[in-house]
Amino acid sequence: MGCGALKQLPAILSSFGSKIFIVTDPGVAQQPFFDLLQKNLHNHGFQTSIFQDVLPDPPVDVFETCAAQASEFKPSCFLGIGGGSALDVTKIVAVLEKHHCSLASLFGIDQVPGRGTPSVLISTTAGTGSEVTPIAVVSDEENQLKKGIVSDFLIANHAVVDPNLCTTLPAWPTAYTGMDALTHAIEAYTNRYSVPLIDGYAIEAIRLIARYLPTACHHGSDLAARYAMSRASMLGGMCLGSVNTAAVHALAYPLGGRFKVPHGVANSLLLPHVMEFNMPAVAERYQIVAEAMGRGDGDVVAAVDQLSAEVGTNRTMTEFGVTQDELPSMAADAMQVTRLLGNNPREMCEQDALAIYQAAL
Ligand SMILES: [Fe+2]
């Protein structure tokens, strides 16, 4: 990790062989650095094949099309470049290409048969931390649900975090990806299964995000702010692998699946309401979160609200077309995400989820 870390890429890739399959999205593929990176790889003697059709919240067919293209190329290594979606596709396709299994067979926890073809991941946003997580999320469009795949076998061989790549990210995605990272850290720190080692990562991420996210949004070329956010995002990713998230992410799934609300926005608008709900169970920990956010009076919900307002993610579900009528079925869908709800520090039933959606409407 570091400004200029990308220069180490040829040396990293050379340990795996010379055939590199690059997975990215159309936005990244148009960036000047992407062209330079490819030329640099060719100058170092690498052969490349590119899949650049990753969509946000990638559906099943993106994974399958990418895997088919990769199987023809027979790469020695996968190189994922982008936000969480491109990195998630890379992690899964590396497994599909090696093990010739179906995508559906991987859904859930520990269903991946083994490590895939080697992979190197480069993040171009500061939020998901996907470059260091054992998790990928797939959109099941037929059932309007997002499904998780969790396995230690998904952890990449290398992650390259170069904050220079984030400087062109516009304010809005900077804001909501940053709020996603904040949610990872808060949900890990106040998790039913929190652990001391990860607590340190989480608190450091919370401190960095509260201090630097507004600058990263409003002064995108500020490298100190971008560095801090890249670091916070990576620390948030480390929290995901060891502890994972809880009810905010569970309740965010139906918003992403049905209404295409960007993942970070969904988290951002639910976070204060879930925190209010969780308050009786983790009041002391929230006090420490408030301190890390620089909120002297300990009002952690106000601290999150204020940050959200400062960076412009303080939206409502109504703005994304969610209506009162949808809420009961959304609450029922959220209850299906038991792998995350089970982590929540306070037990949440369907009525509780419905009340939280109502508050966030
Ligand atoms: Fe997230």
In this structure, what CATH number is given to the domain that contains residue 122? 3.40.50.1970
Say which residues have a Cβ less than 8 Å from residue 157's Cβ, sequence separation at least 6.
16, 77, 118, 119, 120
Query: How many Å lie between the centroid of ligand 1 and the Cα of residue 337?
Result: 14
83 shares its domain with 211: no
pLDDT score for 220: 96
Query: How many Å lie between the centroid of ligand 1 and the Cα of residue 159?
Result: 18
Query: How many Å lie between the centroid of ligand 1 and the Cα of residue 313?
Result: 15
Q: Which residues of 254-278 are buried (b: 16+ CB within 10 A; e: fewer)?
A: bbbbbbebbbbbbbbbbbbbbbebb
251 shares its domain with 323: yes
What CATH number did the domain enclosing 264 receive?
A: 1.20.1090.10
Domain finish residue from 121, 143, 164 = 164
Query: How many Å lie between the centroid of ligand 1 and the Cα of residue 125?
Result: 13
Query: How many Å lie between the centroid of ligand 1 and the Cα of residue 136?
Result: 11
**Domain coverage including residue 14:** 5-164
The average pLDDT across 25-33 equals 95
Cα end-to-end distance, the chain, whole Å? 39
> Predicted confidence band at 78 (pLDDT cuts at 50, 70, 90)?
very high
Cβ pair 270, 322 in contact under 8 A = no
Query: How many Å lie between the centroid of ligand 1 and the Cα of residue 138?
Result: 13
Instruction: Using the predicted structure, report yes or no on whether residue 141 has a pLDDT greater than 90.
Output: no
Query: How many Å lie between the centroid of ligand 1 and the Cα of residue 202?
Result: 14
Cβ pair 60, 30 in contact under 8 A = no
Say which residues have a Cβ less than 8 Å from residue 52's Cβ, sequence separation at least 6.
22, 24, 25, 26, 28, 29
> Predicted confidence band at 142 (pLDDT cuts at 50, 70, 90)?
confident
Query: What gap in Å lies between CA 81 and CA 131, rounded to an integer?
Result: 9
Cβ pair 189, 203 in contact under 8 A = yes
Query: How many Å lie between the centroid of ligand 1 and the Cα of residue 17?
Result: 33
Distance from chain centroid for Cα 244:
11
Instruction: Using the predicted structure, report yes or no on whether residue 143 has a pLDDT greater than 80.
Output: no
Query: How many Å lie between the centroid of ligand 1 and the Cα of residue 129?
Result: 8
Query: How many Å lie between the centroid of ligand 1 and the Cα of residue 325?
Result: 26
Query: How many Å lie between the centroid of ligand 1 and the Cα of residue 263?
Result: 7
Cβ pair 45, 100 in contact under 8 A = no
Strands 119-123 and 158-160: parallel
Query: How many Å lie between the centroid of ligand 1 and the Cα of residue 47?
Result: 34
The helix (H) or strand (E) run that includes residue 10 is: helix 9-14
What digits encode the pLDDT tens for the residues 33-47? 999 999 999 999 999
Query: How many Å lie between the centroid of ligand 1 and the Cα of residue 40?
Result: 32
Query: How many Å lie between the centroid of ligand 1 and the Cα of residue 269?
Result: 13
DSSP string, 269-304: HHHHHHHHHHHHHHHHHHHHHHHHTT-TT--HHHHH
**Could you give the number of structural domains in the chain?**
2
348 shares its domain with 239: yes
Query: How many Å lie between the centroid of ligand 1 and the Cα of residue 115?
Result: 23
Query: How many Å lie between the centroid of ligand 1 and the Cα of residue 146?
Result: 12
322 shares its domain with 262: yes
| Stated length of the chain | 361
Query: How many Å lie between the centroid of ligand 1 and the Cα of residue 228?
Result: 18
Query: How many Å lie between the centroid of ligand 1 and the Cα of residue 19?
Result: 32
Which tokens hold the place of 247? 């009810």
C-alpha dihedral (341, 149, 182, 52), degrees to nearest 10: -150
The average pLDDT across 110-132 equals 97
Query: How many Å lie between the centroid of ligand 1 and the Cα of residue 173?
Result: 13
183 shares its domain with 253: yes
183 shares its domain with 147: no
Query: How many Å lie between the centroid of ligand 1 and the Cα of residue 323?
Result: 24
Sole residue written with tokens 């209850």:
335
Query: What gap in Å lies between CA 262 and CA 278, rounded to an integer?
Result: 24
Query: How many Å lie between the centroid of ligand 1 and the Cα of residue 184?
Result: 6
Count H helices, E strands: the chain? 14, 8
> Predicted confidence band at 140 (pLDDT cuts at 50, 70, 90)?
confident
84 shares its domain with 222: no
136 shares its domain with 121: yes
Percent with pLDDT over 90 in the chain: 94
pLDDT score for 167: 95
216 shares its domain with 177: yes
Query: What gap in Å lies between CA 87 and CA 122, rounded to an integer?
Result: 8
Main-chain dihedrals φ then ψ at residue 114, nearest 5 degrees: 175, 180
What digits encode the pLDDT tens for the residues 242-285? 899 999 999 999 998 889 899 999 999 999 999 999 999 999 99
Cβ pair 154, 131 in contact under 8 A = no
Query: How many Å lie between the centroid of ligand 1 and the Cα of residue 67?
Result: 24
Query: How many Å lie between the centroid of ligand 1 and the Cα of residue 237?
Result: 9
